[in-house]
């Protein structure tokens, strides 16, 4: 008869028992299975992604003569009052291009009809128009809500540069260079991120521009908050875009990052639990500077509590923090 200790069944059972001890018993004593992570420095960026609508003080000029177009001024050029932008020669009349019909219908009669093609006021020359130049202005942009602005399309913008011009067609427009506006909508719960006069970075696909919050209004749909921003900074495409993707950056800073799931409270004080070098963990108070809902930027090493006047020792880089501490 074989000895019991050599039985494959006995060896298998012993192995199972040892495995159980390693997986369940040892971690429960040492805390090895408690989920944690090491604190590191990182960048916290709070931003709202969406679509913005550009609003400007602008005036569209219509041709009073037909013929071949000869342009003297390039798109995006700043000109003074009285500058001749172009000339139209030949005098051959024909029907207006169909591409301009929707644009002209939206423009109505609030246009400048010109035969000498000189500007009546200074500004930036643009060869792009969509007919909303009179419908959406700085003095009435607050009248529109999400239901209106969400229907605007960049596809409605028409390039006015062509070889032949027909009387009554749009030929160029003049845009105020001093300031322009961007109307956008953020989720209702994010409305508190914006205050009138606050600096915000507008990140477009091709560049970033500094702007200031001009207006913050809860939208009538109960879902969005309308945010209007104003900028006097130059943006190359501000004269030809009506709608475009934009990211509104309200906070961007580098520092010590903590996962929000780690944050708890003890005796009314926010904090996290830091693992000891041996066994267990201990509560450490923290001060949160900002959060994006997932991560929080917190004070490093120490912070001063304005309410109590006390200085607290807090977390620092390489501390091991529990992911989800028990309440």
CA–CA distances in Å: residue 229 to residues 50, 205, 224, 288: 14, 18, 16, 28
pLDDT of 92 reads 74
**Which position has the token pair 């875009």?**
241
pLDDT of 151 reads 97
* Structure tokens given for 85: 């932008």
| pTM, to two decimals | 0.83
Residue 238 to residue 201: CA distance in whole angstroms: 15
CA–CA distances in Å: residue 183 to residues 9, 143, 186, 252: 75, 11, 10, 22
Asked whether 42 and 123 are in contact (CB, 8 A), the reply is no
Taking only the tens of pLDDT, the chain with its 327 residues reads 444 455 667 566 666 666 665 555 544 444 455 699 999 999 999 999 999 999 999 999 999 999 999 999 999 999 999 999 999 998 777 788 888 999 999 999 899 999 999 999 999 999 999 999 999 999 999 999 999 999 999 999 999 999 999 999 999 999 999 999 999 999 999 999 999 999 999 999 999 999 999 999 999 999 999 999 999 999 999 999 999 999 999 999 999 999 999 999 999 899 999 999 888 999 999 999 999 999 999 999 999 998 888 999 999 999 999 999 875
Asked whether 68 and 91 are in contact (CB, 8 A), the reply is no
Asked whether 73 and 83 are in contact (CB, 8 A), the reply is yes
* DSSP conformational letter for 122: -
Pairing state between β 67-71 and 86-90: antiparallel
pLDDT of 2 reads 45
């Amino acid at each position: 008869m074989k000895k019991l200790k050599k039985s494959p069944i006995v060896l298998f059972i012993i192995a199972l028992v040892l495995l159980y001890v390693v997986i369940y018993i040892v971690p429960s004593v040492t805390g090895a299975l408690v989920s944690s992570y090491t604190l590191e420095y990182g960048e916290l960026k709070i931003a709202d992604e969406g679509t913005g609508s550009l609003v400007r003080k602008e005036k569209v000029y219509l041709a009073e003569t037909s013929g071949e177009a000869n342009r003297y001024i390039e798109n995006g050029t700043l000109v003074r009052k009285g500058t001749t932008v172009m000339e139209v020669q030949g005098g051959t009349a024909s029907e207006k291009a169909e591409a301009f019909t929707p644009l002209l219908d939206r423009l109505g009669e609030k246009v400048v009809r010109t035969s000498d093609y000189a500007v009546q006021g200074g500004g930036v020359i643009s060869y792009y128009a969509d007919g909303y130049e009179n419908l959406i202005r700085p003095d009435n942009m607050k009248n529109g809500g999400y239901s209106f602005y969400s229907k605007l399309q960049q596809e409605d913008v028409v390039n006015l540069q062509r070889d032949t011009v027909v009387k009554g067609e749009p030929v160029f427009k003049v845009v105020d260079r001093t300031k322009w506006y961007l109307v956008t909508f953020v989720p209702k719960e994010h409305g508190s991120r914006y205050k009138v006069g606050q600096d915000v970075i507008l990140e477009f696909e091709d560049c970033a521009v500094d702007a200031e919050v001009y207006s913050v209004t809860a939208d009538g749909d109960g879902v969005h908050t309308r945010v209007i921003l104003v900028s006097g900074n130059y943006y190359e495409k501000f004269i030809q875009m009506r709608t475009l993707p934009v990211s509104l950056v309200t906070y961007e800073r580098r520092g010590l990052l903590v996962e929000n799931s780690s944050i708890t409270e003890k005796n009314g004080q926010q904090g996290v639990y830091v693992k000891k070098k041996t066994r267990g963990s201990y509560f450490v108070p923290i001060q949160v500077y900002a959060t994006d809902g997932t991560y929080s930027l917190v004070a490093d090493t120490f912070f001063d509590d304005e309410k109590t006047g006390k200085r607290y020792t807090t977390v620092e880089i390489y501390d091991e923090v529990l992911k989800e501490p028990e309440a």
